[in-house]
Amino acid sequence: MPRIVLLHATPVAMQPIQSAFAERWPEAETINLLDDGLSIDRAREPELTEAMIERFVAFGTYGHRMGADGILVTCSAFGPAIDRMIAELPIPVLKPNEAMFQAAIAQGSRIGMLATFGPSVGTMTDEFDEFVARSGKPATLDTVLVADAIALLKGGDVESHNRLVAARAPELGGHDAIMLAHFSTSRAADAVRAVVKVPVLTAPHAAVDRMREMVGAGKAA
């Protein structure tokens, strides 16, 4: 039974990834590590500081010491910190959106993204551009930030969160695909699909599939 440690910087990311594991990889033993102070402090900082990167890597190192076969990060606002974690830990570490990016550019070159957490947009855009450069497929990313939605979700109002996200989706209706930026935003997938005709992609299921491949490849090696 592979042990997968899930690193969360906000509690609203936990349910979507747990549901995805239950559907796609129920045999995995998932361990949840939550430090919601990370997202609170990240929202107060204009840039990802060195101190916060070190703090995030220490968070992942603790997960590794628990005997993890792989680490899946569920927050998209810590890209450079995850890169350092990947470099320092001897087990597979997966960024939250890498697999979704791959699925998106398979749909075409004009990609839209609906985000609800402003500090993540810059790091996600950089990650998308880096992924596109590595893939050799030209693609562009346009992002719409639904700034009020995440506060509603944290307050337990899932329906209003989904409604606000879906209301902005038609702005990206002319793109080849729309990505829902965060694990928490995946709750709005059905509402978004109801108002646009293009593929709507979410991160959790794609991430579980990719994590399973990475852990399997590591064990085979």
Q: How many CB atoms lie within 10 A of CB 62?
A: 14
Q: Where are the domains of the chain?
A: 3-95+205-220, 98-203
* Candidates 2.60.40.10, 3.40.50.1860, 3.90.1150.10, 3.40.50.300; CATH matching 3-95+205-220: 3.40.50.1860
Rounded distance between C-alpha atoms, residue 117 and residue 66, angstroms: 30
Q: Are residues 202 and 31 in contact, defined by beta-carbon separation less than 8 angstroms?
A: no
Rounded distance between C-alpha atoms, residue 85 and residue 92, angstroms: 10
218 pLDDT above the threshold of 80: no
Domain 98-203, classified CATH 3.40.50.1860, yes or no: yes
Average of per-residue pLDDT across 24-33: 97
Average per-residue pLDDT for the chain? 94
3-95+205-220 and 98-203 share one fold: yes
Q: What is the percent of the chain with per-residue pLDDT over 70, rounded to a whole number?
A: 98
The amino acid present at 220, given as its one-letter code, is A
Tokens of 78: 């810590």
221 pLDDT above the threshold of 80: no
pLDDT in tens, 115-148: 999 998 998 999 999 999 999 999 999 999 999 9
The amino acid present at 169, given as its one-letter code, is A
pLDDT range class, residue 159, cuts 50, 70, 90: very high
Q: What is the pLDDT of residue 77?
A: 86
166 pLDDT above the threshold of 80: yes
CA 83 to chain centroid, in Å, comes to 14
Rounded distance between C-alpha atoms, residue 178 and residue 75, angstroms: 19
